[in-house]
Amino acid sequence: MTKEQVLEKLKFDIELRGLSKNTQDEYLTKAKIFQDYFDKPATELGVEDVRQFLHYLTTVKKLAPESVNTYNSGLRFLYGVTLNVNLNLRQIPRHRKPHKLPDILTQEEIQALFNVCDNLRDRCILMTLYGAGLRLSEVASLKVADIHSDKMQLFIRNAKGSKDRYALLSQANLEMLRAYWKAYRPKEWLFYSRNHTGTHMTPKAIENLFKKYVKKAKITKKVTVHTMRHSFATHLLESGTSIYHIKQLLGHSNINTTCVYLHLVKIESLNVTSPLDQITESEKANG
């Protein structure tokens, strides 16, 4: 079997299981890079080659644990499903993810991002990301028909886990979307690619414009597009929104995923008194 035939069979298996387009792209890309590294089809490579490749990604390429794990997942699927080879999974362990709290943008910093946008489309994209707490791929693939202004909702199709959901549509976001529509008149996709392919913007293009405006706004925090989603959830929590409502808005399957935002809330916004102060005050009152 050639390298190309391996990839074709992998693509068939991914489609057969109904995995998302994002997963399909990830697995195919990872498998191609793996085969090209050895310049051999995966059928001629085994567990020791997988171990060597993952070690190379970690020590030479110095990829983040999350990135190495995506290669790991793709190769496990390639061998376990497509090639029907039982790998010793103990020999190709996943990296433990460091549990670091992400940086959050303040509302002033987010407003600064909006202010430095040099065109209406980019400002609309950033406002939609933050205003609805969307993932990068979700805002990229929005359609005009997904804007339900009567219910003040955005319809998010085929989100993470192949689930549809509704997201929050704020009044300010709706007004910006209307201004954008009048100026650009999008037909099917809300945000079209500028390379005239007739398709929606790629997540990479949105990532690039975000980086551009972070630099332009002179924000020095270590942030990504996903920071807008983190900031959305944290600001909602700080304003008193229930963690269960936030879970629904974000489309999380497990409340434990949403609970990470409890660690990001500013202490001063909780309006909580330490029990030590309560004891001290009680002692003063009785003394």
Q: In whole angstroms, give the CA distance from residue 282 to residue 212.
A: 54
Residue type (1 letter), 121: R
CA distances from 18 to 13, 14, 155, 158 (A): 9, 6, 21, 11
Closest CA to 21 of 122, 147, 218, 157: 157
Q: What is the pLDDT along the chain (287 residues), one digit of tens a residue?
A: 899 999 999 999 999 998 877 888 999 999 999 999 999 999 999 999 999 999 999 999 999 888 999 999 999 999 999 999 988 888 999 888 766 777 889 999 999 999 999 999 999 999 999 999 999 999 999 999 999 999 999 999 877 767 788 999 999 999 999 999 999 999 999 999 877 667 889 999 999 999 999 999 999 999 999 999 999 988 988 888 888 888 888 888 888 877 777 777 765 565 666 677 667 777 677 76
Active-site hit among 143, 160, 212, 216: 160
Q: Could you confirm whether 99 is annotated as catalytic?
A: no
Q: Could you confirm whether 180 is annotated as catalytic?
A: no
Q: Could you confirm whether 252 is annotated as catalytic?
A: yes
Active-site hit among 121, 135, 165, 247: 135
Active-site hit among 11, 32, 212, 226: 226
What phi, psi does 109 have (nearest 5°)?
A: -70, -35
How many residues are listed for the chain in this entry? Answer: 287
Closest CA to 186 of 158, 156, 46, 194: 194
Question: Which tokens sit at 201?
Answer: 């913007």
Q: Could you confirm whether 226 is annotated as catalytic?
A: yes
Domains and CATH numbers, the chain: 3-91 (1.10.150.130), 107-268 (1.10.443.10)
Closest CA to 232 of 258, 269, 271: 258
Active-site hit among 123, 165, 229, 247: 229
Q: What is the pTM of this model?
A: 0.67
